[in-house]
Amino acid sequence: MSEISQSGMEQLLMKLYDRSAEAIFFFDRDNRVITMNKAAEQILDPQVSELMKAGSKGAICMACKGFTSAEEERTCVACYMSDPDRDIPSFQVFLETAGRGIVPYTGSIQMIDREQGIRAFMLRDLTEQFKTQETLHQTTLVKRVIKAQEDERKRISRELHDSVAQEMLSSLVDLRVLKYMSAEEDVLKKVKQTEGSLMRLLDDIRHLSVQLRPATLDDLGLQAAFRTHFKWIEKNYGLLVNFDSSIQSQRFDEEVETVVYRVCQEAVFNALKYAGIEEVDVSLQVTDKELKLTVRDRGTGFDLNAPEFKGTGLGLYGMKERAELVDADLTLQSGIGTGTTIELTVPLKGRGDGK
C-alpha cells in the first residue's frame, strides 16, 4: 500500500467531508454545531440550518422527530444527544427535511476529540431501503394470502365432496329406488329416508355458507353473529362459550366487524382444537376510543418461547395479518398449564365507525 503524507490525508478527508452523500455534523459538548457538510445543509430547512450555523444550542431538536428505541418507534426519551460522552454506533432517527417531509435515517455518533467534547453525528438516508423492504413485505404478504386462499378452497372442496356430494348421491339413489317400489309402506319409509338425507344436505350447505360469510353479521352485526356462531359451536362440538358483550346492536365499519369476527372465530377454534377445555370465555367491549375482543381459555396453554407452536401457525399469522388491516393491536398470552388469552384492540377514533 502506497504511503500518503499527512497533508494529503487531510485533503482526502476534506474531500470526503465535502462530497459525501451522508450528512455530517460536528457538535460540541453543549450540542452546538461547530460545522456541517453540504449534504447536512441540503436536508435541513434553511431556518434550522441558519440557527445551527449561528451556534444555537439544541437547534437539532427543531428538525428531529424522535428516534427508535426498544419500546417505541419514535421517542425523545433518553435522547441520543443527551449524553455527550456516549458513542452510539447505529440507531434510527427521523428528521423533518426541506421539501421531503419526515425522512428516516440511520445515525451514528462518534467522539472525535474527548478533551474538547467534539462529536461527529452522521446520517444516512433510509428511504430507498424502506421502499425495498416494503415491496418485499408486500410481495411476501401477497404470496401468503394466495396460499391461504388456496388452502381454504381445498378445505371447502373436500367438505363439498365428503358431505354435500355424498348426501346428494344418497338422495339420488333413494329417488331412483322409488320407481321400482309398489308397496305403499315401503315407499313412505323410503321417502322419509330421502327427506332425512335432504335435511342433512341442507344443514351442510348452511354450515358452509356461514363459514364463508355469515349473513347475520351483515344484517344484525357482531353481537348477533357471535351468539349464533357460539350456539352452533356448542351444538356441534359441545364447547360452551361464555359470552359477555357491551356493544348491544351497535354497528361498526364492515372491515372492522369482519376482522373482529374472524379473529374470534379462529381463536375459539384454536381453543377447541388444542386447549383441551369444555368452555371458553369471550368478551366484546366498546368505549369511545376502542373496540376490544378478549378470548380466554383455562386449558393446557403452551410455551411462547418454544420454537414451534401446536398446529401450523397459520391461524395465529392470519389473526395478526387481519389485525393490521384495521390498525389493531393483537396480543397473545400463554403458558404451560395456565391457559391462553388473545386480545384484539381496534382503535375507533377517526375510522368513521357506527352505521
Domain boundary assignment for the chain: 6-125, 127-212, 217-355
What is the arrangement of strands in the sheet containing 240-245, beginning at the earlier edge strand?
A: 240-245, 279-286, 290-297, 339-347, 329-335
Same fold, 6-125 and 217-355: no
CATH of domain 6-125: 3.30.450.20
Using CA atoms in the order 309, 311, 316, 321, what is the torsion angle rounded to 10 degrees? 120
pTM for this predicted structure: 0.51
As assigned by CATH, the class of the 217-355 domain is alpha beta
Say what the pLDDT of residue 223 is. Answer: 94
Report angle CA 44, 120, 85 to the nearest 5 degrees.
120
Give residue 352's pLDDT.
Answer: 47
Q: Consecutive 10-residue runs of the chain (355 residues): their mean pLDDT?
A: 74 86 91 91 88 84 89 87 88 91 93 91 91 84 71 70 72 75 76 79 70 79 92 90 93 91 91 90 94 94 65 66 89 90 88 50
The residues, any chain, with a CB within 8 Å of residue 152's CB and separated by 6 or more, are none
Beta-carbon contacts of 103 under 8 Å, excluding residues fewer than 6 positions away, are: 43, 94, 95, 97, 125, 126, 127
Cell numbers that stand for 130 in this block: 424502506
* C-alpha torsion sign, points 23, 28, 32, 35: negative
State the cell numbers at 147: 396460499
What is the model's pLDDT at position 107?
A: 93
